[in-house]
Amino acid sequence: MKYFVAVYQKLKNIYMSQSSMENDLPMICPSLRIYDNEELELLKPQSLLNDEQKKALSIIKKQNVAYELNSVPISPNFWDLNPNNSLFDIYRDILDKNNLKNLEENLDKVLENKSTLLFDAKNSDTKEFKAYKKYRVLYEDAVNKVTDHLLLFDGLETDEEKRNWNDRLVNLNNLKELAFSEWKVKGNKDHIEKELARINRSSDADLYLAMAQNAKHTFEAAEKTDVISNSSIHDINFIPYDFMENESGWNSMRIEKSELEGLHSEAKNSNENIPSEILSIDYDESMIQAVEMDYSFVHLKRNWFNKNFMLSNYFEWKEPKKISDGQTISNDFKLPAFPKTMILIKNLKVILDPSIISTSVSNAEQLVYFGPMVMKQQVFINKTNNQKFLKAITNVKTIKSDQLNYLAKKTAIVEAQKVNVINNFSARTALDPEPVENIKMMANPAFAGKTNMGNILNNIKNLSPLNPAPHGASPVQPTPQPTNPIKTPWGSWGPKFPTIPTPTPAPTPIPIPVPPPPIDALVQFRISDKVNNEPIYKCAISIKGTNNNRIFEIESNEAGMINQLISLGEYSIELRIDDYAVLNQNFSVTSSMPLSLEYKLQREEVKFKSFFLIGMICERMPQIPVNQ
């Protein structure tokens, strides 16, 4: 979580230095929401969707996502999804309860009473209004003459000319004062302008009423008509609108380890809009050398939302729950702030220490996280610089699957068991205190399900050598593990402590049952193009057990192949890559004998981009009503 917070802090700093406004409120999203290309594309207005099938799908599917992205924050420390506190419902309730009907009735009465001081029965100017206009014109002429005379002074050369100029100025000023007096007395200046001010106030109220009515009618029309019209209130205009189709609005970034440390310290010291519970998670991430990603700030525009009518002096709010005090972000206020800009990242790569081996992350019993992001069970190698790195799982179905939830809980239980072992073998901590201390940190309840990447990889990094692929960002094949691993008090995959004789006997350990290792088969997957049989590189492979809780997220190498140790059982497999249709099939592993599976993909114009929402820029509402 430490370096994840650092990444958020970096993006927050970039946004605040470039385009922030006074009321902008950056907030971290600790649960890290992931959206795929299809989910966000369906939120675009129908006019921007060219595919008729997508238009039909958008009407049905986009409501849930729209409610999520319109969640109003109720905590000053973070933003997260809260469909029960949506901008839709809050805004509609404000429109219903702001005494709009009373204002409309009063305004109609004002406009019905036409001014008799300005207009007569024939709708012509009254004598008083004609006199007002006449003497106002005379006064304006007098002022213009004084102004023109003042411009002549720079061209004067002799003292005589200047004395004559000054005498003329005194005369013109006297005429101006006389014109003003006649305007005031004979032109009924005070009475006419008082009446004009009353009419202008009615015009301001009319403008406010138009804004409020337009917002209200949008909702009423949507609710009284069919589902197609109703779907329009879930539309979101994205800026940049095409961030899903191309690289518009995206920037690349690499953050080295030293900067990550500094950013985390900055976040911890400022403690602004980040929960203290997250900042307190400060575990070992020594195996991470850098982080690479693409990022974008995507603005959310809603055609139906207009906050300006709430800022008018004519706006009234007499409900017990105030709308906003301009400062506090909490559930005590109806609309303290609203989401306006997503902080999105994609193509995340966590650069690892060179000593990392493939078995460090391919263990089917253990999840590896970067903050709340679950990483693929596979080490990759960059062909240009031979750097090893991990990728995040981007398949939304996998992230939401029961198998992943089960494995997360199982990981937390394993961590708790480690603590029990430590307590039972406390006499041995002097032999190797550092790993024990690390495991204690991992078992902190604050990280339940958030496994420490550094310690997992440290604990097993010496199991076997790594075979880098000869050509670039190629997946490293997992090394088959022995069928009879060495058993230790830490489990078959834990750190191996040396046995050192001691003069006093150690306490008798309480054994923890270690289940026998499952029988695995080495399964080779080969993925190719259905038409030309060319291998498909970087095909995302999602494997889920249908009669067990196994789950694997891997990718094919440049030869379109990948080997994976898989336990006996029944499995479903999903293959996804841009420009090909999704392929879903089932397979079985019935023995420990090697198994070879081949899949051919059909070309189709499909994009499978996924975006991680790690933060939201909200706009803090000013005090409303402004006249309270």
Report residue 241 as tokens: 């609108």
Q: In Å, what is the CA distance from 273 to each residue of 26, 112, 265, 310?
A: 7, 52, 15, 26
Contact 417, 512 (CB under 8 A): yes
- Nearest Cα neighbor of 609 from 12, 40, 1 is 40
Query: Side chain identity at 169, as an amino acid letter?
Result: L
- Splitting the chain (628 residues) into consecutive groups of 10 residues, what average pLDDT does each group show? 88 86 87 81 70 64 81 88 84 75 51 64 80 87 88 86 89 90 86 69 59 62 49 78 82 91 84 72 78 92 81 78 90 92 91 79 77 85 85 84 80 57 39 34 36 54 40 52 39 37 54 65 93 92 89 91 91 91 92 92 83 91 74
- Paired tokens of 32: 């890290």
Q: Please provide the DSSP assignment of 592-617 as one string.
A: SS-EEEEEEEPB------EEEEEEEE
Read off the amino acid at residue 601.
L
Sheet holding 583-589, edge to edge: 551-555, 540-545, 569-576, 583-589
- Cβ atoms of 2 and 605 within 8 Å: the answer is no
- The separation between the first and the last C-alpha atoms of the chain, rounded to the nearest angstrom, is 43
Rounded CA separation 238/233 (Å): 14
Q: What residues contact residue 477 under an 8 Å CB cut-off, 6+ apart?
A: 358, 467, 557, 562, 563
Query: Which residues is 422 bridged to in the sheet?
Result: none
Task: Output DSSP code: residue 464.
Answer: S
Question: Residue 452 has what pLDDT?
Answer: 56
Sign of the C-alpha dihedral computed for residues 482, 486, 491 and 496 taken in this order:
negative
Exposed / middle / buried, residue 511 (Cβ in 10 Å: 0-12, 13-18, 19+): exposed
Q: Where are the domains of the chain?
A: 104-188
Q: Residue 442 is inside which H or E element, if any?
A: helix 433-442
Q: How far apart are CA 68 and CA 84, in angstroms?
A: 9
Q: DSSP labels for 93-138?
A: HHHHHS-HHHHHHHHHHHHHS--TTTB-TTSPBPHHHHHHHHHHHH
* 0.85 exceeded by pTM: no
- Quote the pLDDT of residue 360: 67
Q: Which two tokens stand for residue 74?
A: 């109720």
Yes or no: say if 175 and 139 are a contact pair by the CB < 8 Å rule: no
Output the CA torsion 290→294→299→300 (10° steps). -100
> Residue 574: its pLDDT value, please?
93
Q: How far is CA 523 from CA 11, 20, 464, 589, in A?
A: 41, 52, 19, 8
- The whole-angstrom separation of Cα 450 and Cα 368 is 8
8 A C-beta contact, residue 441 and residue 452: yes
Determine contact, residues 588/569, Cβ cutoff 8 Å: yes
- pLDDT at residue number 208: 61
Q: Which residues face 93 on adjacent strands?
A: none
For the record, the structure tokens of 424 come out as 């039972």
Q: Which strands make up the sheet holding 595-601, listed edge to edge? A: 561-567, 520-529, 595-601
Quickly tell me which residue has 């490293």 as its tokens.
476
Decide the pairing of beta strands 520-529 and 595-601: parallel
Tokens of 49: 């969707």
Cβ contact 397:478 at 8 Å: no
Quote the tokens at residue 506.
Answer: 């150690």
- Measured distance CA(425)–CA(64) in Å, rounded: 51
3-state secondary structure of 220: helix
CB atoms within 10 A of CB 544: 20
CA distance 458 to 92: 54
Whether 374 contacts 469, CB under 8 Å: no
Query: Residue 55's pLDDT is what?
Result: 62
Q: Are 257 and 290 in contact (CB under 8 A)?
A: yes
Question: Residue holding tokens 């994009």?
Answer: 607
Cα–Cα distances (Å) from 480 to 180, 290, 358, 522, 628, in that order, read 101, 29, 10, 7, 71
Are 300 and 238 a contacting pair, CB within 8 Å?
A: yes
What would the pLDDT profile of 438-494 be if each residue is shown by its tens digit? 323 333 333 334 445 655 555 544 443 333 444 455 555 554 444 444 333 333 333
* Contact assessment for residue 404 and residue 374, using Cβ atoms and an 8 Å cutoff: yes
For residue 44, which phi and psi values (nearest 5 degrees)?
-65, 150
pLDDT in tens, 355-374: 877 776 777 777 788 888 88
How much is the pLDDT for 625? Answer: 73
Rg over alpha carbons for the chain, rounded to the nearest Å, is 36
Q: Give the per-residue pLDDT at 583.
A: 92
